[in-house]
Every structure is written in C-alpha cells, then in structure tokens.
C-alpha cells in the first residue's frame, strides 16, 4: 500500500516530450524513442535516461530546440525532441 506522501509525489510529476517543454523548464529524461542508431546519437550528445535537461529556447517555424545538458548547450531537431520523454515537477 502506498503512503499518502508517495502518491502525492507521483501526482506532482508529469511526463511529456521534450519539444513540449516551455523555455526555461527542466526535467529528467525518462526514455528515448527511435531505433538503435538514433538512440546512440542522442547518447553521444549526453542525452541519456536519468539525465536532467533544461530547455533554453526554441526557434520558430520548425527550427532546432536548444538545451542545456551537463553545462553544455545542445541543439536537437524538433522531430528528435518529440522522441525524448521527460518527467517534470508540477509544483512550480
């Protein structure tokens, strides 16, 4: 049986894809979609499960999304960002 505190904590967490984060919002990577080659490319950029990321900005009209990962700026395309699931806190 879950305690009241743990069920409350679960309700304060939301998962959405990286493209849907607002600029300045941050979260923890939960899963990477796509094939093995795609996932290898993301992991080479530091985008791995459990990693905290912060969305810095996005370029309008389908341009890249700029992230902060391990104190480095990383740009990913919108299609790539749609395949990265992130967990965020709702208590902001």
Residue 4 predicted with pLDDT over 70 = no
Q: What's the CA gap between 34 and 7, in Å, rounded?
A: 31
- pLDDT per residue as tens digits for the range 44-75: 999 999 999 999 987 777 789 999 999 999 99
Q: What is the pLDDT of residue 12?
A: 65
What is the SS3 string spanning 20-79?
Answer: HCCCCCEEEEEEECCCHHHHHHHHHCCCCCCCEEEEEEECCCCCCEEEEECCEEEEECHH
Q: Which domains does the chain have, with CATH numbers?
A: 4-89 (2.30.30.90)
Q: What is the pLDDT of residue 8?
A: 44
- Tell me if 62 sits within 8 A of 78, measured CB to CB: yes
């Amino acid at each position: 049986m879950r305690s009241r505190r743990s069920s409350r904590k679960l309700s304060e967490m939301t998962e959405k894809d990286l493209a849907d984060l607002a600029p300045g919002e941050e979260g923890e990577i939960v899963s990477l979609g796509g094939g093995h080659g795609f996932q290898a490319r993301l992991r080479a950029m530091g985008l791995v499960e459990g990693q905290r990321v912060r969305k810095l900005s996005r370029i309008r009209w389908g341009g890249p999304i700029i992230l902060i990962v391990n104190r480095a700026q990383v740009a990913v395309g919108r299609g790539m960002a749609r395949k990265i699931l992130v967990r965020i806190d709702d208590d902001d």
